[in-house]
Amino acid sequence: MLLFRLARNKLFSMISIMSYLRGFSVSYRVSITRVDVSIDLAVERAIELIGGITKFVKKGDTVLIKPNLTRVTSEPHVCTSPDVVRAVIRLCWRAGASRVIIGESSPVGVDTEKAFEVTGMKKGAEEEGAEVLNLKKCPQVIVEVPSGRMLKRIEVAKPVLEADTLINVPKLKTHCTCLITCAMKNIKGVLSDASKRELHRLGLYEALVDLVTVVKPKLNVVDGVIAMEGLGPVDGDPVEMGIVMAGDDPLAVDVVAAQVMGFRVEDVPPLRVAIERGLAPKLEQIEVLGEPIERVRRSFKRPEVDLEKYLKCVEIYMPRACSGCVGTIMNVLKIFEKSGELELLRKYIIIAGPIEESEIPRVAGKQLILFGNCTARYRELGLFIPGCPPRIGLTVPTLERGCITDVEEERYLRRLKKNGE
Ligand code: SF4
């Protein structure tokens, strides 16, 4: 009788009833819409399904929209689409926002202002009457993390804290260390570069979960129009998904996103940690509105961080390296493999990421390759490849010489200076 009454009540969808039967109360809502007519309509409907824009943006609000600008590129599967952001901006104006800012602090080593320009985000935002803001250049405020297990305090860009509403607009992508990157991981881009490095140094998965306990977007709108599979978050392949997702809880959004990409939630390390800590909902606690997951699900190619394959030839030690160095090293290894030169790396140990001197493996007969600026302080110990991540690359001639040539280094430094890094 009770079930009959629930079924008649439009507020309860089938999924709610199933959850009720399993003993879970549904307390999260995530919507999925298809881009059939336009991105604008898909974004509007996704937000409408979870309560409409006026639930999140009030008259007179200053809104800060945080896209994902992870590289200086116009490739549509790497960064958040400017069209998705444009649609969100229009809705904010419609809700009566007084100021809309598109704020980003791209990964360490990536020029945020160039990323704004090359992705088309700056042009799109300005045409919609919004401002773009490089959060790296803003004053940073120290924020305590009271329930942090790894992070005790972080540096957050001041405009993020001053905004009335933070809207997180991530891209749906695979990630070489976290398996997926979506709402939770995108929040990292409100931090100073120093805090981003600290996250990796302390242990990315726990630290990301710590971060979402203090930086909470009111709304998350996922750009799943052209997603990424394989070696994400920058070197993967495009996937035409044609969807938009929305939800008010970043962890609930990521739980659904993992399912949409064909992954088990517990295989996504930061989500697994969040679930263990009782912070992320189970799928059964989430009401999925709009398109059912089964109708949009696609098995994404995993990021091929198939280190096992390479570890037979090369010793690699990068326990806390971020995706910049992990992705670049994987690409370097693939290039060596393709040219049949992987064996050349047998006499080396590659080290990347923030590590302590006591952790550096020293093996008789093996030379060290110190990959990336995190290892710069040990540069005297072996072949140092500068960059964050290195863009000169690790090549056979570099190995043969045992050093980066002055010309290469000079060219590299010039490029850094030109980019203002
Ligand atoms: S040097 Fe490499 S591991 Fe260190 S912050 Fe830069 S990209 Fe990440």
- Tens digit of each residue's pLDDT, the chain (421 residues): 444 443 433 434 444 444 444 445 668 999 999 999 999 999 999 999 999 999 999 999 999 999 999 999 999 999 999 999 999 999 999 999 999 999 999 998 889 999 999 999 999 999 999 999 999 999 999 999 999 999 999 999 999 999 999 999 999 999 988 999 999 999 999 999 999 989 988 889 999 999 999 999 999 999 999 999 998 998 899 999 999 999 999 999 999 999 999 999 999 999 999 999 999 999 999 999 999 999 999 999 998 766 777 877 889 998 888 888 888 888 888 888 888 888 899 999 999 998 899 999 888 889 999 999 899 999 999 999 988 888 766 887 788 777 776 666 666 666 655 554 4
Centre of ligand 1 from the C-alpha of residue 270, in Å: 19
Cα dihedral 44, 50, 53, 58 in deg (nearest 10): 180
pLDDT of 178 reads 93
Q: Does 199 contact ligand 1 (Cβ within 6 A)?
A: no
Centre of ligand 1 from the C-alpha of residue 376, in Å: 10
Centre of ligand 1 from the C-alpha of residue 348, in Å: 20
User: What is d(CA 350, CA 371) in angstroms, rounded to the nearest whole number?
Assistant: 7
Q: Is 112 helix (H, G, I), strand (E, B) or coil?
A: helix
Centre of ligand 1 from the C-alpha of residue 137, in Å: 20
Please provide the DSSP assignment of 274-338 as one string: HHHTT-SPPGGGEEEEES-HHHH---PPPP---HHHHHTT-EEE-TT--HHHHHHHHHHHHHHHH
pLDDT of 408 reads 65
Q: Does 324 contact ligand 1 (Cβ within 6 A)?
A: yes
Please provide the DSSP assignment of 33-46 as one string: EE-SS-HHHHHHHH
Q: Does 78 contact ligand 1 (Cβ within 6 A)?
A: no
Q: Does 374 contact ligand 1 (Cβ within 6 A)?
A: yes
Among 136, 188, 373, 412, say which to mutate for ligand 1: greatest number of ligand atoms within 8 Å of CB: 373
Centre of ligand 1 from the C-alpha of residue 252, in Å: 29
Centre of ligand 1 from the C-alpha of residue 373, in Å: 6
**In DSSP terms, which residues pair with 107 in a beta bridge?**
none
Centre of ligand 1 from the C-alpha of residue 197, in Å: 8
**Residue 413 is encoded by which pair of tokens?**
């430094």
pLDDT of 246 reads 98
User: Do residues 257 and 30 make contact, with C-beta atoms less than 8 angstroms apart?
Assistant: no
Reported as type and span, the H/E element at residue 58 is: none
User: What is d(CA 9, CA 12) in angstroms, rounded to the nearest whole number?
Assistant: 6
**Residue 292 is encoded by which pair of tokens?**
């059912």
Centre of ligand 1 from the C-alpha of residue 142, in Å: 23
Q: Which atom of ligand 1 is nearest to the CA of 318?
A: 3
Q: Is the dihedral of CA 53, 184, 190, 418 positive or negative?
A: negative
User: What is d(CA 7, CA 13) in angstroms, rounded to the nearest whole number?
Assistant: 7
Among 106, 108, 377, say which to mutate for ligand 1: greatest number of ligand atoms within 8 Å of CB: 108
pLDDT of 407 reads 65
Q: Does 327 contact ligand 1 (Cβ within 6 A)?
A: no
Instruction: Give the domains, in start order, of the chain with CATH numbers.
Output: 12-296 (3.40.50.11440), 307-418 (no CATH)
Centre of ligand 1 from the C-alpha of residue 124, in Å: 30
Q: How far is CA 112 from the centre of its chain?
A: 15
Among 388, 391, 416, 421, say which to mutate for ligand 1: greatest number of ligand atoms within 8 Å of CB: 388
For 320-346, letters b (16+ CB in 10 Å) and e give: bbbbbbbbbbbbbbbebeeeeebeebe
pLDDT of 31 reads 98
Q: Which atom of ligand 1 is nearest to the CA of 324?
A: 7
* pTM, 2 dp: 0.84
Amino acid identity, residue 333? Answer: L
Q: Is the dihedral of CA 208, 327, 401, 409 positive or negative?
A: negative
Q: Which atom of ligand 1 is nearest to the CA of 372?
A: 1
* Gyration radius of the chain's alpha carbons: 22
**In the sheet that 315-317 helps form, which strands lie side by side, from edge to edge?**
315-317, 348-352, 367-371, 383-385
* CA distance readout (Å), 278 to 1, 215, 228, 303: 33, 17, 29, 27
Please provide the DSSP assignment of 154-173 as one string: EEEEHHHHH-SEEEE--EEE
Q: Does 197 contact ligand 1 (Cβ within 6 A)?
A: yes
Please provide the DSSP assignment of 234-268 as one string: TSSEEEEEEEEEEES-HHHHHHHHHHHTT--GGGS
Q: Does 322 contact ligand 1 (Cβ within 6 A)?
A: yes
User: What is d(CA 239, CA 68) in angstroms, rounded to the nearest whole number?
Assistant: 17
Q: Does 217 contact ligand 1 (Cβ within 6 A)?
A: no
Centre of ligand 1 from the C-alpha of residue 389, in Å: 5
Centre of ligand 1 from the C-alpha of residue 393, in Å: 14
Residue of minimum CA distance from atom 8 in ligand 1: 322
pLDDT of 52 reads 98
Phi and psi for 351 in degrees, rounded to 5?
A: -120, 135
Q: Does 109 contact ligand 1 (Cβ within 6 A)?
A: yes
Burial group, residue 17, by CB count within 10 angstroms (0-12, 13-18, 19+): middle
User: Do residues 355 and 375 make contact, with C-beta atoms less than 8 angstroms apart?
Assistant: yes
Centre of ligand 1 from the C-alpha of residue 319, in Å: 12
